[in-house]
A = this chain, B = another copy of it.
Amino acid sequence: MPRERVTLRDVARLAGVHPGTASRALNAATRSLVNSETAQRVLEAALTLDFRPNPVARSLKTRRSDTVGVLIPDLTNPLFPPIVRGIEDHLAARGYVALIGNTDNDDQREMRVFEGMRSRQVDGFILATARRRHPLLLRAAEDELAVVLVNRVVDSHAFPSASVDDARGSGLAVAHLAGLGHRRLAHLGGPQALSTGVGRYQGFLAGMETAGLEVDPALVAFADGFSQQEGARRCRDLLRVSPRCTAVVVANDLLALGCYAALAEAGLRCPEDVSIVGFNDMPFIDRVHPPLTSVAFSHYRIGAEAARLVLERIADRHAPVTATFLQPELVVRQSTAPPPRGG
């Protein structure tokens, strides 16, 4: 367990070769350039000295860093930790590490951490912060950075992405409620500047159509952000329209929690008076009261998939861009029930 840093020259000296040769021998990609016996000697020398190449020096030369930047709107949103885990696990298995940054949905801040990471020579980015039209992303594209999107996508198909089939998810929710006998459905949507917001809204519309139900424009509201407060605020509005809806398809679990609050304020019970279905099936949402029916998908998997994509992209900047969409499923819990009599 040598305390002093052992460098390439040390192993070269021990193996009796020039550092350049040692470098080639150590690097799998260039190993074929050196005689296999000497390569072997170098490998052994490296092993006995417990040589760890200095990634910083290597970065300086190669302009790569085996690091990818991950931009998250807010890590305390329970949706993201499992995604990050998926990313990290996948990257770690391949010798990469993740540099995490929160943006708080703030453009300024996003730009700052983006530039910070970039100057730190990250090889690529995974963004969970995409808006449908995103200035940062345009710049990234023209600079030919390796960027992939997770959870949210952009309108243009310029970036690889890993996300869930939002429309399908909402469709499942509508079908479930329609099956229970609901006819008067509301939609509490997310910000329409986000792909998740519009996708889930479109899915709601499509689902209503296939269920043969009419959508009442008064029963559609959009939140400005995915938060409990926004959920409560918009839900209050929705509850004011009469006749009242008997169920609401909500674009996100946090918004749904807000709905719970609004219902309680209004003296309404869930699911007896109003059914609620959320989206994301976020951790612990099965423990709230009542346990929330929600559209589920594996957060971990979209994270891992995003990591896979970014590595692919790093390896070949001009690989075809692939967008993968996980198929969601509805997990039915106790926030949905048949509509009240006369509803």
Contacts and interface: CB of A to CB of B under 8 A. Distances in A.
Interface of A: 3, 52-57, 59-60, 65, 67, 74-76, 78, 80-82, 84-85, 88-89, 92, 97-102, 112-113, 115-117, 119-121, 143, 257, 260, 283-284, 287-289
Contacts of A52: 115, 119
B100 A98 contact: yes
Given A88-B100, A288-B288, 18 more contacts: A54-B119, A56-B65, A56-B121, A57-B60, A75-B75, A75-B84, A76-B85, A76-B283, A80-B81, A81-B81, A92-B101, A92-B112, A92-B113, A97-B101, A97-B116, A98-B100, A284-B284, A289-B289
- Tallying the copies of this chain within the complex gives 2
A88 B102 contact: yes
Nearest to A1: B139
B287 A257 contact: yes
A88 B59 contact: no
Contact of A60 (B53, B60, B81, B100): B60
Contact of A99 (B81, B99, B143): B99
Contacts of A102: 85, 88-89
Q: Count chain B CB atoms within 10 A of each CB in A82, A97, A283 and give the residue with the most.
A: A97
A95 to B, nearest CB: 8
A128 to B, nearest CB: 14
A325 B338 CA distance: 51
Contact of A82 (B56, B57, B76, B100): B76
Given A52-B115, A287-B257, A99 B97 contact: yes
18 contacts: A52-B115, A54-B121, A56-B56, A56-B120, A56-B121, A67-B120, A75-B75, A75-B84, A75-B85, A76-B81, A76-B85, A78-B78, A78-B283, A81-B81, A97-B116, A98-B99, A288-B289, A289-B289
Contact of A3 (B3, B121, B143, B289): B143
A284 B116 CA distance: 33
A7 B92 CA distance: 32
Contacts of A84: 75, 100
Contacts of A101: 88, 92, 97
A270 to B, nearest CB: 12
B284 A55 contact: no
A289 B284 CA distance: 11
A7 to B, nearest CB: 12
Contacts of A116: 97
Contacts of A74: 85
Contacts of A76: 81-82, 85, 283
